[in-house]
Structure formats: C-alpha cells, structure tokens
Amino acid sequence: MTQDRFIGKKFDEYRVESLLGKGNMAAIYLGVDDRLRRKAAIKMIGLDLQGEAEYVMRFEREARAIAQLSHPHIVQLYRYGEAEGMLYMAMQYIEGASLAIVLQSYKEDGEYIEADEAARIIREIGGALDYAHEQGVIHRDVKPANIMLNIKGTAILTDFGLVLLKSDGTRGGVLGTPHYLAPEQALSSANATAQSDLYSLGVVLYEMLTNIRPFEAKKPIEVAMLHITKQPRSPREHRPELSPQVEAVVLKAMSKKPEDRYRSGAEFSAALDEALRTGGIGPARAGAPRPAPVGTILSRTLVIPLSEALKARPGSGGTDSSNLADIPGASDIKNAGDTGDVGDIAPGPDADLLEKW
C-alpha cells in the first residue's frame, strides 16, 4: 500500500498524522499542533483540483466565511494557508458524531431522539444561523451531516463549503443537498436567504421527530422538485403522538414562501419550546419507537476514537451515504456512489444539466 505523501509532513505548525477521509473534491487529515498540543482537522482541495479556479475560489470563500464567525456552535478555523504546494484549512477537530449518524442509530435501534434534545439542537443551530446571518453569511447546506454533536452532545454547525457571502453574491446555479433544499434555493442558489437556511433546519426537525425525511424520490432532481411543488406529509401521520402544536411549528418552518416562515432561528426555537410546553408529545402507541437520550446514542456510536469509528460504522444510506459524515467540512467530499450533494449547475430548468444531480 502506497504511503500518503502528506503523512508526517508539517503544514506550518501542524504535523499531519493520518488521513481521515478522501474523495473526489477534497481530503481531510488529522493534524496536531505540537506546540499547543491541539488536534485539528486539516482540509485540502483534491490534488487534481488545486489548479481549478472555481474550486479554489469556493475553498477561499469557505475559509473567509468561517474566519469572520466566532460562535460556540460554529466550527472554528485555526489557519488558512499553503504548504507542500497545497491550499489547506486547519479547523477545529470535533470528537463526536454527526447528527446524521446519530439519527441513523435511532432508526436502527427503534427509538426517537428525545423532544427536549431535539429542541436544544434547534436552539443551538438556530442561534448559530442567526449569528451567521447577522454577519452576512448564508450557509446553504444545513443538514444532519453538517451538524456535529460533540461528546457532551453540544451541536456545532460545520462545512461552509457552499456558503453565500452577501458581499460576494453568487451566480444562478443550484447548490445544496436535495433532501434539505428550500424551494427557492432549488430553483436557484442566488435566491437563498436566511429563511432558506431556516427551511433546511425545519426539515432537520421533521426528521428528528419522525425518523423520516419529508420528501423521497429516485433521483435527486425529483426530490428537489417535490420541495417546490408538494406539501410535506403531516408529521403526525408518521408519529401520531406528536401534538398539533408541535406539528404546526414544523410545517410553518417548511412553508413554501420564505415570508411565511419564522423570521429567525430564535423565533423558531421559541415557538418549538412553547409547542412542547403546551402540547408536547403524548405516549407512544404500542410497538412504536420510544424516545432515548442523545447521550445514550452517542455512547453507542462513539465508544472508540472518531477515526476508528468512521472505519467501523457504515453511513446513513440514501443521499447522505458516506463514511465521511462525521468529519467537519467533509460533506463536499464525494465517494463513488455519493450523489447526494448537488453540484454547481447552470441556471435554468434544462433537463440535461439538472441530470448532473
């Protein structure tokens, strides 16, 4: 087996220890700052893309976006630089598991995430999004695979690879992950607003409460079109013990028109808290999945170091299938069978171009 040429190299103050994951677009390594004795996740553009202006620009935009954000629920950037002829980012290394892996564990174990835990995740990520939006940053790829839960269960928003900086603007392609795309973003990424991120967070809540994503289809483009043309099925059809109040919060967050959604993550979170207080979730029907604490699930999925857990545990399947889901900033890494992340698609409803999904 050929030794990775970067293992053991120094990227400024970071010594590269091991490869965590590698795909067509990027690679993630575990690095260590020996002086500070601090681990870092080192993200590099793929070797064959280092000279591609579009990918370099997107990489730099991601670094600039994270650099201007300082929030306890947003991944931290330590350094952006070039070493060994490679552009790289050294970011916060999060020991934990992605929400995608955690939710898959709930499904496999026949359990639901506890309502209070779901509300806390919405509160923490909603707060992170509010802060980012105030700084002129729109994430555009909010989904369980980009929400890390550390070993204490704290939620951290990661992967700003598809970020929109309001100061830069964007051309009218389509970027994002079909299962979590807001309707306006499915038409054009130029339409993305703060409410687009909140719609995606609403889809995450739908999935947390029901263990089911609201829209499914054979092709990613078909999933995206469902966000535009169809209303989601009532969450109570999947889980009857949900109260009408809780269901109303989920459906408002997923309103087709941005102006009909919550104005902020704080408003969204407060509405969910109030719905849980006044309506809550009733007793589960016989044989239905039962709620379980996040800590219990994390203890099952993370009993070994993260790098080993990634090798040992399969991905969640569907469009988010990837053993890289737990690595901050890795959702734009493509495996051979990964068709979940929407590429940069030219404007307009051209069927041939949309088939790139």
Q: What is the three-state SS of 173-220?
A: CCCECHHHCCHHHHHCHHHCCHHHHHHHHHHHHHHHHHCCCCCCCCCH
Contact 265, 221 (CB under 8 A): no
Cβ–Cβ under 8 Å, residues 77 and 93? no
Tell me if residue 158 falls in helix, strand or coil. coil
Burial (0-12, 13-18, 19+ Cβ within 10 Å), 190: middle
Helix (H) or strand (E) holding 93: none
Check if 141 is active-site: yes
Question: Who contacts 31 (Cβ-Cβ below 8 Å, separation ≥6)?
Answer: 11, 14, 15, 16, 17, 39, 40, 41, 42, 90
Question: Considering only CA atoms, which of 196, 213, 184 is closest in space to residue 253?
Answer: 196
CA distance readout (Å), 40 to 99, 226, 341, 342: 20, 39, 25, 27
What token pair was written down for 236? 């109570």
Residue of 130, 141, 320, 332 marked catalytic: 141
DSSP-assigned beta bridge partners for residue 138: 164
CB of 119 within 8 A of CB of 276? yes
Q: Which residues pair with 33 in a beta bridge?
A: 14, 38
Helix (H) or strand (E) holding 147: strand 147-150
User: Cα(first)–Cα(last) distance of the chain, in Å?
Assistant: 33
Instruction: Tell me how far apart the alpha carbons of residues 199 and 201 are, in angstroms, rounded to a whole number.
Output: 5
Cα separation, 284 vs 218, whole angstroms: 31
Show which residues are catalytic. 141
